[in-house]
Amino acid sequence: MEIMSVFSLFFCTVLSSVMLSLGIPNEFLLEGSALMGIFSLAPLYISLKEAPSFKTAGILCGTHIALVHLFSSFWLANFKDFAVFTLGASSIAYFILGIPVGWVLFTVLRSKNPARPFAFAACWVCWEWLKSTGFLAYPWGILPMTSRQMDLFIQTADITGIWGISFMFSAVSAFAAEFLYQRKPETETFSSGSGTGKKEMFPGLLLLFFLFTAGCGYGLYTIHTLPAPETSFTASVIQQNSDPWGNDGGVAKSLTDIQNLTRKAVAELKKTTGRKPDIVLWSESSLPYAYNINRNRYKRFPPGDDFSSFMKEINTPLFTGSPYIETGNGKEKAYNAVILVNPDGTIEDWYAKMQLVPFAEYIPFTEYKPVSMFFDALIGFSSGWEPGSKKTLFNIMVKDETGATAAIPFTAPICFEDAFPRITAGLHKEGGKVLINLTNDSWSKTASAEYQHFTTAFFRAIELRTTLIRSTNGGFTSVISPSGEILYSLPIFEEAFLNAEIPVYPHFVTFYAAFGDWFVLMAAVCAVSAVISVFKTAGKNFAGRRRL
C-alpha cells in the first residue's frame, strides 16, 4: 500500500480536529459527545503513522491542535479588546507548540512494539497536561471535556484526576486506528511504518478492555458507597444575566437588578420554608468598585437603592465578587477577589484569584520596560490584576435543630480557577467541605462557552468528592454533587435565581488530592521510554546495515 497523499494526510488531520471539537460541548451539541471524543484521535493517529517525515508530522499535529482551539474556543473572539491575543495569537502559538508534539508522536509510532498505542496515549496525556499547567495554561480543548456523559468511568478522577480519562480515550482512538488501518512495511528503516499485525495487537486490546471495565466497576462501587451528607445549608444563588463590565449606568442597573432578584429569592424562600437563606451567592465582579475602599460609595450606590441599605434589609451574609485594593509602602495592589460581607456591611474575609487569565487579567513580562511599552502602544495599557497568594477558608454559620450555631467551611476558586485541579485541590486541603465558584462568563455570548466552562469545572467535584456550587451571571449556574450529579441548575442567559439546599459531606482528602498528578508522571516515564526505545532500535538497525 502506498504512502497516503498529502491531501489524505491533511484530510485525516482536519477530520480528527472536527471530531474532537464536536465531542467538546459546542453550538450543535451543547452536552458534547463522548462517542466523538473517544474516537477523535484515530484519524490523527493514522495521518501521523503515515507521515513521510518529521517535518510533515510536526505540521500535521500543529494544524490539528490549532484547529481544535479555533473550532472549540471561537467565542474567545468576544473577549473585547483582547481577542487578538485570546484567539488570534493563541491559535498561532498552539500551531507552533503542536510541532514538537507531532515529532514525539511520529517517533513513537515508528515503533514495532504492539504496545505503541499505549505509548501514543501516554504522550497525549503529557501534552494535555502541559497545555493545562503553568501561568499561560488553558485547560480547554482536551479529551476529558468530551467524557461527562460516561458517568461510571469518570469516577476514576478521584484517583487519576482527569488524566486517566485522557489516557483511556486516546488509547481507544489509537487501537481503533490500528485495527481500522494497517499497512505493510516497505523497508526496515527507522522512517518506515510498523508491520505489527492485528493478532499482535489483540493482547493490548484485551488490556484496554480490562482497564475500562475496571474503571466502570470502580465508578459503580464509588457512587453507591459515598457517605451520606453530614449536614446542609440553604443558599440563594442569583443569576442576573447582565454584564458588570458596562459603563457606570450599566453597572448601576446591573447591581439594582441583582438586588431585586435577591429580594425575590429571599421572599420566595420565606414563603415556602418560613426562613431566610444561610448565605446569598452572587457572581464574580458583581460589586464593580472595590468594596473594601468604597464602603461609603455603596451607601449611595446604586442611586435610589443603595447596597448598604439592601444588606440590612435582607439581613443575610453575602458572598460576592469584587475587586480588592491593598495599599502599603507607597504602592497599590489590585486583586480580582471574592468577599464575604456580613449583614452590617463589614467584610468577614476575602480571597484573591491566584491563577489569572493571561493577556486578559494580566499581561506577562510587563515588568520589562520594552514589553510594557509595546502593550501600552498596542492596547493602551500594560497593567492588570495582581495574583493572590493566601488560601482563604471561609465559614457559613448555620443554626441546627437545637438552635446552636455551627460553622461550615468552604473555599472559593474564582471563575477560571475552577478549571485547575491543582488550585482547587490546594484550597480544598485547607479544610473546606464545599467549593463555591463565582464566575463571569457573560462576555462570551455563546451557549457552548458556558457549557464548556461548566464541563471543565464539573470534574473538581468528583476529584475532591465534595459539593461544587457555581454561581454565574449568565450560566451555567449549578450545584454538582460529589458523584457529578447536577442537583440544581438554571437556564443559561436568563435572569433567574434558585434556592438550593446544599448537602455538606465530611471533609476528606482523596487519593488524587493527596498525590496530585502522579498519573502524568507515570505517563511521562512511559513516553520517554518509548522514544528512547525507538531511537535505540533505529541505531541498531543502522549499525547492522553498515556491517552488511
Q: Which position has the grid cell 441548575?
A: 489
Calculate ∠ Cα 458-459-465, nearest 5°: 105
Look at residues 380, 355, 420 and name the one whose alpha carbon lies nearest to residue 162: 420
- C-beta of residue 308 within 8 angstroms of C-beta of residue 345: yes
Instruction: For residues 53 and 3, give the distance between their C-alpha atoms in angstroms, rounded to a whole number.
Output: 11
Name the residues annotated as catalytic. 284, 353, 415
Instruction: For residues 160 and 165, give the distance between their C-alpha atoms in angstroms, rounded to a whole number.
Output: 8
Instruction: Tell whether the torsion through CA atoms of 187, 189, 191 and 197 is positive or negative.
Output: positive
Produce one character per residue of 436-445: b if its CB has 16 or more CB atoms within 10 Å, e if not.
Answer: bbbbbbbbbe
Helix axes 518-547, 116-131, angle to 10 degrees: 130
Look at residues 547, 527, 545, 544 and name the one whose alpha carbon lies nearest to residue 115: 527
How many helices (H) does the chain have, and how many strands (E)? 17, 12
Cα–Cα distances in Å, from 327 out to 293, 330, 333, 347, 361? Answer: 10, 7, 6, 17, 20
Q: Hey, what amino acid is at 476?
A: F
C-alpha of 250 from chain center: 30
Instruction: For residues 443 and 294, give the distance between their C-alpha atoms in angstroms, rounded to a whole number.
Output: 25
Q: Cis ω on the peptide bond leading into residue 476 (within 30° of 0)? A: yes
Instruction: For residues 173 and 246, give the distance between their C-alpha atoms in angstroms, rounded to a whole number.
Output: 45
